[in-house]
């Protein structure tokens, strides 16, 4: 079952769905919640002849990626800061909402917005699903699939939408702690660490849900 506007407003006002920084009520649509683009972008370095196995144990891309934080750069005079994504380009970003907290009985999917899609911007590659109990920022795999336009990615603009689904049966805090990946992620290329949450985090989540 997909949550509609009435259910989303109720869950948000009750604190069952939480964001930091918090969203504004106008970000809640008919059946989704809009999230804004953050300031941090991580791109692959252009290294001739490089081959990587991203699914290998211990894969660490720090030396073959470069990260820019636009919040630390002065904006051009009279213009907002922006990240320019060339045709065929790919960059990993995250939402301005640094922390998204999911209850144990809801999951979500992140989708792009129509206006950006028509310009050639895709929001995620193949990983739109957000598990129940997730805590962290939403990673965005941003691609410019167009052939002509360079796309300006401006932080704080609405970049994606979350569609929430009701689980038939809620998961337990123990299941979240032992089965979830990328919990508490704060960087675009966060390390995949299953079951990294502490007992204190699990008790806090259980008490809130």
pLDDT in tens, 62-113: 889 999 999 998 878 888 899 999 999 999 999 999 889 999 999 999 999 9
Q: How many CB atoms lie within 10 A of CB 22?
A: 10
Instruction: Let me know if 169 is exposed, middle or buried by CB neighbors in 10 A (0-12, 13-18, 19+).
Output: exposed
Cα distances (Å, whole numbers) of residue 189 to 31, 43, 122, 132, 193 = 29, 10, 18, 21, 12
Q: How confident is the model at residue 202 (pLDDT cuts 50, 70, 90)?
A: very low
Q: What is the pLDDT of residues 2-34, one digit of tens each?
A: 999 999 999 999 999 999 999 999 999 999 999
Predicted confidence at residue 57, as pLDDT, reads 82
- pTM more than 0.95: no
Predicted confidence at residue 55, as pLDDT, reads 83
- CA–CA gap between residue 115 and residue 159 (Å, rounded): 10
Superfamily covering domain 5-43+82-208: Deoxyuridine triphosphatase (dUTPase) (2.70.40.10)
Catalytic residues: 141
Predicted confidence at residue 196, as pLDDT, reads 47
Is residue 204 predicted with pLDDT exceeding 50?
no
Locate the domains of the chain by residue range.
Answer: 5-43+82-208
Sole residue written with tokens 């081959």: 51
Residues 143, 120: contact at Cβ < 8 Å? no
């Amino acid at each position: 079952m997909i949550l509609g506007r009435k259910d989303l407003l109720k869950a948000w006002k009750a604190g069952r769905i939480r964001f930091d920084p918090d969203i504004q009520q106008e970000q809640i649509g008919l059946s989704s919640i809009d999230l804004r683009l953050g300031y941090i972008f991580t791109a692959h370095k252009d290294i001739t002849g490089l081959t990587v196995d991203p699914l290998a144990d211990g894969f660490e891309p720090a030396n073959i990626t470069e990260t820019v934080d636009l919040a630390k750069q002065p904006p051009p005079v009279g213009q907002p800061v922006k990240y320019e994504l060339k045709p065929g380009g790919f960059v990993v970003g995250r939402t301005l909402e640094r922390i998204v907290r999911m209850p144990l009985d809801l999951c979500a999917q992140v989708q792009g917005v129509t206006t950006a899609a028509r310009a050639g911007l895709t929001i995620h590659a193949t990983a739109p699903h957000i598990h129940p109990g997730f805590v962290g920022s939403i990673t965005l795999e941003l691609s410019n699939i167009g052939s002509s336009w360079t796309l300006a990615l401006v932080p704080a603009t609405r970049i994606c939408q979350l569609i929430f689904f009701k689980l038939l049966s809620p998961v337990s805090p123990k299941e979240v702690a032992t089965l979830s990946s990328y919990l508490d992620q704060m960087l675009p290329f966060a390390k995949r660490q299953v079951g990294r949450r502490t007992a204190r985090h699990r008790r806090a989540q259980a008490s809130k849900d």
